[in-house]
Structure 1
C-alpha cells in the first residue's frame, strides 16, 4: 500500500458531499490501492451533522479510509492537501441578485484560495464545484499565487454527462457508447453542449452524432436547452438540487485527473484559458474539451468550429468576462 493522500471536501455536511464521500473513501476516485485521509470542512453550525457523517463513514468499515477529520478551521482543513474538492458555496437565495451572489462567494473563495496557498502542497489538485463554479474557481486560483493555475479546475462534467446521456437515450444505446461531447464555457444556462465532434457506437460502428440521431433540429435546439436547463428541471421535480449526479460527476472528473483519459476520448472541464487555441478570452475559467495524462490536462486542439458553434461559444465567454470583472471588483473590498 502507498502512503495515504489527504483529500479535502468542503461543504461536507451537505447533500452533494453525502453522495460523494462514500465513492471517494471506497476507492472509486483515487484508485483501489490508494489509502485516504478525508478532511471534512463545514461551517460551525453544521459540525453536529458532520459528526453524524463521520460516524457513517466509520460504520462503512472501508479498508482504504485511514482517518476522517471533521473541522471548521481552515488551518486544519487545508494542511498538506493532495486534492481539494470545494463543494461548499453560498447558494442563491430568493430575491438575491447575481452580483450579491458573486460578492458572497468571492469572500469564500478568496479565503479558501489563500488557505490553499498557505497550507496545501503546491502540487494540490483543486476542483471547484460550488456555484458560480467557473468564477469561484478563478477567484480561488488568483488567491493562491504560489500554486499553478493549471492545478485548478471547475466542474462541467455533470453537464458533459447529461449531454452524453441525452444523446444515448435518443439513439437507444448505453451512455458509454457516446464519446466526445463537449461543454464549452460557463456552468450556467449559457453553456454550449456541442456534439459536432461526438461519436456514437451503433451496432459496433462509431458514427457521428448527427448521423446517429438523424434529427438536426433536435440537436441544435431542444437538446441544447435540455442540457442547459437540466439542473433547474431537477430542482423543480425533486425540490432539491442535483446531488447524486453531481457526486458521480465529481468522481469522474477527479478520477480522470488522477488516472488520465483513455486514448481517443476527451472530457469537458473548466480550466484556465490562457493562450487557448479557440480564441476564448484569456484569464477565464472556461470549459474546454481536454485530454489528461500524468495528472496534467491539455486542451484538445484542431477541432473545426462552425459559425453556429462560434456564436454560442462567444456568448458564454461574454457572460464569463462580465462575471469575472464583477467578481474582481469585489476582491479588494
Structure 2
C-alpha cells in the first residue's frame, strides 16, 4: 500500500529508495563496448526501471586512468538508479557478493586477425575469470559472456524490429553462424505471417540475407577499423534482460548455451547458439522445431567449426 495515497509519485520514490541495489560486475569496463553498455545498465534497460544498481567495473591495471574517466562520465549522467560505482583492477574485489556478471573483457578481433590467434589470447582471460566465479561460490550469479545480427528482415518488410520474432541464430559467432527464419513470424497489418510469406523472396532469404548476417562483423571492422561496439552493447543488454526477466510465452531468443542430450544433433556439452525460452532465470532449449535439409547442412557446418575451436582452446589451456 502506498504511504501517501494523495501522491503516488512519492510512493514510487519511497519504494525505489528502499529497494536493495543489485550488484553488477562488468569486466573490460574501460573498453569501447562497455562505454555503450554501462549507460544502458545504469538507466534501467536491463534490470528494470525501478531497480537500483551498484556497478563494479573491472579492467587491467594500465586501463585504470581510462576507467576513472568512465566513472566520471557515469557520475555526470546523474542516473537516479545508480547507487555506487566501484572501479578496480583486482579480481578479489570485483568477484565479491555479485548478483550478475557481464564478462566483456577480452581482446577484440582486428582486421586480418585469425580466429585461432584471437582464441588463444582470450582463453587465458576467461579461464581466470571463470575460476574467480567458482572460487567465490557464485554459481547462481546471472552470467553473460561476450567475446566480440543484424535485423535485415524488418528492414526488408518495412516494419519495426519489434514486429519480427523467433529468428534463430544457430551455432558459432563467426562466418559459419546460421540465421534461420523458417520459424520466424513477421507482424504486418496486425497479422502474423511466416517470414517467407512476408518477404516473398526465397532466393534472398537463402542467399544474401544469410551471407550479410554471417559477414556483418567483418563489414563493420572494414568500415570502422574497429569491431562492433554499440550493437554489441545493445545485444548484451537484451541478453541480460531476457535472462533476468524471462521471455514472453510463445517466443524465444537465441543464446550460446550448453548442448545437452544431443539437442538437434549437436554434440553434447558444446557451447552452441540455440533457440531458448527463459523463465525464473533458467534457460531451456526450445525442442521439437522442424529442421529441413537446407538448415541441417548449415547447422552441422557451424557445429563442426565449434568442435574444432573447442579442441584448440583445450590445447591452449593445457599448454
Question: What TM-score does the superposition give when structure 1 sets the normalisation length?
Answer: 0.88
1:332 aligns to what? 318
Give the match for residue 174 of structure 1: 160
Counterpart among 214, 239, 247 of residue 228 in structure 1: 214
Separation in 1 of the partners of 2:38 and 2:53? 11
From 268, 271, 275, give the equivalent of 1:282.
268
TM-score by length of 2: 0.91
Any gaps of 5 or more consecutive residues in structure 2? 1-17
Tell me the C-alpha RMSD between the 2 structures: 1.4
Matched residue, 1:156: none
* Higher alpha-carbon Rg: 2
Deviations 1:169-196 (A, max 9, x none): 1111111111100000001000000000
Partner of 2:7: none
The counterpart of 2:142, out of the listed 105, 114, 125, is 125
Pair 38,120 (structure 1): closer, same or farther in 2 beyond 3 Å = farther
Task: Give runs of aligned pairs for residues 145-160 of structure 1, distance below 5 A.
Answer: 159=149
2:37/2:233 contact within 8 Å kept: yes
Aligned match of 1:79 in 96, 99, 112?
96
Q: Give the aligned partner of residue 49 of structure 2.
A: 32
The match for 2:184 is: 198
Q: What's the offset of the Cα at 1:130?
A: 1.6
Residue 88 in 1 paired to residue 91 in 2? no
Taking the TM superposition and a 5 Å limit, the aligned residue runs for 1:37-116 are 37-92=54-109, 97-116=114-133
Give distance in 2, aligned partners of 1:274 and 1:287: 12
How much has 1:97 moved relative to structure 2?
4.1
Runs of 4+ in 1 over 6 A off after TM superposition: none
1:188 aligns with 2:174: yes
Spell out the pairing of 1:222-261 with structure 2 (5 A cutoff).
222-261=208-247
| CA distance 1:94–1:62, change in 2 (3 Å) | closer
Counterparts of 1:129 and 1:61, CA distance in 2: 27
Query: Given the superposition, is the C-alpha separation of residues 217 and 93 from structure 1 closer, same or farther in structure 2, using an over 3 Å criterion?
Result: closer
Q: Tell me, yes or no, if the aligned pair for 2:110 and 2:221 is still in contact at 8 Å.
A: no
Residue 15 of structure 2 is matched in structure 1 by none
User: 1:82 touches 1:120 (CA, 8 Å); kept in 2?
Assistant: no
Q: CA deviation at 1:2?
A: 2.6
Kept in 1, the 8 Å contact 2:111–2:221? The answer is: no
